[in-house]
Structure 1
């Protein structure tokens, strides 16, 4: 079931989205060579706690997962695409890091992700992150009243194809609101003019995940959560929560 949000609900989601943005900013500020992934998780926990928000990630267990997620961020490094569990790994010079974070505040949820390089960046990683951001921007630009989900999917897929990047076909964006994952699913490839119609008050988490090697193949780590590229190539993941409005797409997870 898809819920269309009122203006009041969108304002509440904006507040949750602001918490997410602040948590991601805190993580980005804390990330440096030698810093552990658990320390990044703690930085996000501090922001959520100070805002009186809870994490929709912590304790979450979808059908594919063997155990509840143990952290408030997903921390995916280098060839990890998404869902990386923060552990004892310490960041090294040149690591490509993707951080996904959510917040639930007053019954409404926000979800966003960033990708960045710690220390000295490789030109190829800079290009990958830029392509992922371009794909997200294209998807958001297509998120307008009168379009359909397929228009968002097609916009993202077109940018990924132009950049010769792969994407994990089984994962994409989603509806969001009272819960982190709601209908409809937002694939990162699709046909324009197809799928669920976009109307005022629909809220979506749009999240391209690009893999530099060009292959769509991925594998899961033994933890059952972390997804990695099969060819060992780098991956990037950038996401925003977006509201469809008569005035155009409204990003709810900006700072």
Structure 2
């Protein structure tokens, strides 16, 4: 599949889908506290998507070699790296959870995720969550025509490793548009000046998975989806969908409740 470049109508369609995905997370935010189950979170999200007139991209999603995904979003708790399936286990004080939402609106996909700290967490957990957010933004601010995808991955990897964390290699960002997953693949590690050159109209996700311990991951259980850290260390992830503009970038998954960018972004 070749890289798709979005025209003005495509950009507008993706802005709408991206905002709606972020608004699902806004809606969920006050509900994510000790005692709620991730299945409750999934039900709340499905109801909100109905009121938006959007639909979940994950429910029933079945890439080759996978069983159909059974929920309207992904909830990855503590050492779950990604693709955690909502269940009936209540969240407890000190948990960290990534909620990953992808909606479809008028044929366009919007994909974003946020970390939530349940109640009060340890200093180490909060540091991982906060620095993973910064790592994502270190990648985003690199985006402009003429740079290479390797420049984005290098910026994320350098920042994460400088802070004593590791970057998951097996999962990456991806192009997105009228399909959930398009070209290019967006690695969160790499070398400057390598891989595809960015051009206006490209849209893709930047979604680093950062581990407090080692970078190795493994499948958990036999559900076909859930990925965990091999050493049982905490993992965090944030995700935005980004457009390459004529002069830089536009984050397409912002909403009224989106966390503000780190101070270094505004300074730049």
TM-score by length of 1: 0.97
- Tell me the SS of whatever aligns to 1:84: coil
How many angstroms apart in 1 are the aligned matches of 2:15 and 2:103?
A: 11
Equivalent residue, structure 2, for 1:208: 208
How many angstroms apart in 2 are the aligned matches of 1:228 and 1:13?
A: 31
How many angstroms apart in 2 are the aligned matches of 1:88 and 1:132?
A: 27
How many angstroms apart in 2 are the aligned matches of 1:95 and 1:205?
A: 25
Equivalent residue, structure 1, for 2:69: 69
How many angstroms apart in 2 are the aligned matches of 1:26 and 1:227?
A: 26
- Tell me the SS of whatever aligns to 1:103: strand
Where in structure 1 are there 5+ consecutive unaligned residues?
A: none
How many angstroms apart in 1 are the aligned matches of 2:117 and 2:52?
A: 28
Equivalent residue, structure 2, for 1:78: 78
Equivalent residue, structure 2, for 1:242: 242
- Is 1:104 equivalent to 2:109 in the alignment? no
Spell out the pairing of 1:1-255 with structure 2 (5 A cutoff).
1-65=2-66, 67-213=67-213, 215-222=214-221, 223-255=223-255
How many angstroms apart in 1 are the aligned matches of 2:114 and 2:58?
A: 16
| Contact 2:32-2:116 within 8 A present in 1 as well | no
| Contact 2:104-2:110 within 8 A present in 1 as well | yes
Greater CA drift, 204-213 or 215-224: 215-224
Q: CA deviation at 1:247?
A: 3.1
- Tell me the SS of whatever aligns to 1:91: coil
| Contact 2:55-2:105 within 8 A present in 1 as well | yes
Pair 64,80 (structure 1): closer, same or farther in 2 beyond 3 Å: farther
Q: CA deviation at 1:103?
A: 0.6
* 1:77-125 alpha-carbon deviations (Å, 9 max, x no partner): 0110110000111110100111111011011111001012101121111
- Tell me the SS of whatever aligns to 1:137: helix
| Contact 1:111-1:205 within 8 A present in 2 as well | yes
Q: CA deviation at 1:64?
A: 4.4
How many angstroms apart in 2 are the aligned matches of 1:74 and 1:163?
A: 27
- Tell me the SS of whatever aligns to 1:152: helix
Q: CA deviation at 1:6?
A: 0.7
How many angstroms apart in 1 are the aligned matches of 2:202 and 2:209?
A: 22
| Contact 1:19-1:47 within 8 A present in 2 as well | no
Where in structure 2 are there 5+ consecutive unaligned residues?
A: 256-268
Moved over 4 A (4+): none
Pair 64,132 (structure 1): closer, same or farther in 2 beyond 3 Å: farther
Backbone CA RMSD of aligned residues: 1.0
